Every structure is written in structure tokens, then in C-alpha cells.
Amino acid sequence: MSRFRQALIGTASAMALIAGLSLGAGTAAAEEAQDADALASIALDPAAVPAPIARDHAAVVKVELETVEREALLADGTSFRFWTFNGTVPGPFVRARAGDTVEVTLKNAEDSMMFHSVDFHSVTGPGGGAVATQTEPGHETRFSFKAMKPGIYVYHCATPMVADHIQAGMYGLILVEPEGGLPAVDREIYIMQGEVYTELAYGQKGEAFTDYDKLLDEKPEYYVFNGTVGAITGDNAIEAHVGETMRIYFGVGGPNKTSSFHVIGEIFDKVYTHGSLTSPASEDVQTVTVAPGGATVVDLTFEVPGRYIVVDHALSRMERGLVAQIAVDGPADSTIFDTYGADLSMAGH
């Protein structure tokens, strides 16, 4: 008996999962892949953040999530069957205010092969909502919760094997703003880190399937920001201007690895440690530790133009795809940073 099947035995959804095993995220019986280069990216635009909440009273916030399984680009020339919320990795950024009632509707697409669910870490109640949303293909479920505590929280699928659903892309963030909101900034950005465990070695082209031995041993082939290698680089780099303030909502879907979140060449002005928005923010911070299933909020200001590299400072992970870029334009300031006319090279980063 394989280690994966052993891991499933005794779980609440073992029968459903084993029935669909040959059709899941990374199995040998999946249909033949399309040409990977012709597939669309699964990555969510990091600028896809709803505007800050302007109202001064509690309200009902309706959240509609659809679990969609789709083949998409994992890396150049490599495809993977992702499991997603609303067709992207991460899922949509959800924004509420302390005191709001959040009504969640979860639809599982008819062509899905697996049960799915959602667990919001912002919920006070059993399973974070997962106990009410174990949803079979073609059906929908609902629950509501009171957003009681401000913070930035992860949500994710919580259908066994939970780690499999998460590594396949089923995670996102919900922001519960404090009364009065957060201090204004010029730009808000949404980034999540994840791991993908494939039987194909990193960089090997073709259709990749999940390797469950690697998953259980916590040995990913890929580390990704927003779902895919290179999702936030080159022409897709985050854009900013000198003098602007930027707020990054950063979370770790995981399922297993802690991140040491860092922007090379910048210092965070403020860090809302552990995602708490009611505790005093730390100031002038270089690197932030974020656990799997955790999140943080960082503010920074760009004084110098150039291309800034976003990393997990466990830097070997760069060689497995974990890098993003922020392209900052505007006037130089030699009193802050002066290269004395030297030719610039990013070879070191």
C-alpha cells in the first residue's frame, strides 16, 4: 500500500478521495496534457486588492467562492492541474471590517473531480467553516461568521488530504480591518508563498503530477509566489514610483514551509507582526518570519529607483522558483544611494 493511501485511511473523506484518486491533482490516470506553453497562467495579479473600507459601521459582506480545478502553467514548459478558489492562486483577497457579518457561499464546479471546502482562520467556530462546507462537485454550501478580531488571516481548503489541497493552490487571505481602518498608503499588494510537490524534477518540462511521497516528506520541487514560477517578474513585476508608500499583505499557504520574507535593498517601515493589527507595529525591520498558515502586513517606502527583488531569505529556494520583483521608477538620489558611475549588475541577486 502506498504512503498516500495509508495517509488517507481513517480520514473523514477517505472514501470520496479514493474514489476520485485516479483523477486528482497529480495522478497517473489524468487526461493527456495540452501543450504547456499554450496554457494560461494561474497567477493572481498582486495588485488585485479591493479598496479600503470607507464605511463607519458594520455590514453584511457576501463572499462567493467557486472551487475550480484547471490545468495551467507551473513553470516555463511545465503544466500542473491546480485546485483553486475562483480559478487563481492565491484565491481572491477578501476584505471586511471588525464587527461585519461575513456570509460565505462555496460552490464546487460541476467538472471538479474532488470534494472541496474552506477554512477561514478569521472564524471563531469549529473548523473555521470547513465543517459546513465539505462540498461535492456540482453543489454549493453556505455559512456565516462574525468578523470579531482585526487582522490578516489565511483561508484554505480543509478537505483531507488537507496538505494536498493546499499545495495544489487552495489558499488565500482575508483582511479584517480595525474600526477606523488602516493608515492610508499609495499602493496595496497581495502576495502568497506556496510549495508544489511534483514527480517531475524542478525545470523538467511536461505535465507534472503530485508526488505524494515528496509531499509527506516535505520535499517540494517548486516554491512559488502567487502560484507559478516567474508570476511576478519581468513584464509582470509590481510597479511603483519613488516616494510612494506600499503595503504588502503577505501570507504563506504552505502547506509546510516557513518563510523569511525579505525585499532586497529595502527596509520595512512597519511590520504588523503575526498579522495582528491591534498590537503596536514594529518599525525598521529587515526580514519577517511567517509560518505556514500565517500572514503579515508590511509597509515600505521607495526612495531610490531600480528593480527590487522579493525573496524568502532561505535563499536556496530562489533556485526552485521563489522570486518576485518590484520595478520602481523616478528620480535618483545620490545622497541615499550612489554607485559612483559603476555599471550595475544584478548577478548577485
Distance CA 115, CA 59 (A): 31
Give the pTM: 0.90
pLDDT at 346: 62
Write the CB contacts of 330 (distance below 8 Å, at least 6 apart in sequence).
241, 242, 243, 302, 305
pLDDT digits (tens, 9 = 90+) for 308-340: 999 999 999 999 999 999 999 999 999 999 999
User: Sorting pLDDT into bands at 50, 70 and 90, what band is 30?
Assistant: very low
Out of 36-50, 64-78, 83-97, 120-134, which region has the weakest mean confidence (pLDDT)? 36-50
**Sign of the torsion formed by the C-alpha atoms of 172, 325, 255 and 247:** negative
- pLDDT at position 201, please? 98
pLDDT at 17: 37
Give the tens place of pLDDT for each residue, 10-22.
343 333 333 333 3
For the chain, the average pLDDT equals 91
Residue 103 has pLDDT above 70, yes or no: yes
Domain range summary for the chain, segments of one domain joined by +: 3-177, 187-329
Which class is 187-329 in CATH?
mainly beta
At residue 32, the pLDDT reads 42
Mean pLDDT in residue range 171-194 = 98
What is the pLDDT at residue 347?
58
pLDDT confidence of residue 345:
67
Q: What is the pLDDT of residues 241-262, one digit of tens each?
A: 999 999 999 999 999 999 999 9
| pLDDT at 9 exceeding the cut of 90 | no
Domains 3-177 and 187-329 are alike in CATH topology: yes
pLDDT at res. 319 = 98
pLDDT in the model for residue 111 = 97
Taking the CA atoms of residue 143, residue 146, residue 148 and residue 152 in that order, the dihedral angle to the nearest 10 degrees is: 50
pLDDT at residue number 342: 83
pLDDT for position 40: 83
- What sign results for the dihedral spanned by CA atoms 20, 116, 108, 40? negative
pLDDT of residue 348: 58
The residue-averaged pLDDT of 235-239 equals 97
Domain 3-177 has CATH 1.10.4080.10: no
Quick one: average pLDDT of 197-207? 97
Per-residue pLDDT, averaged over 129-149, amounts to: 98
pLDDT beyond 80 at 83: yes
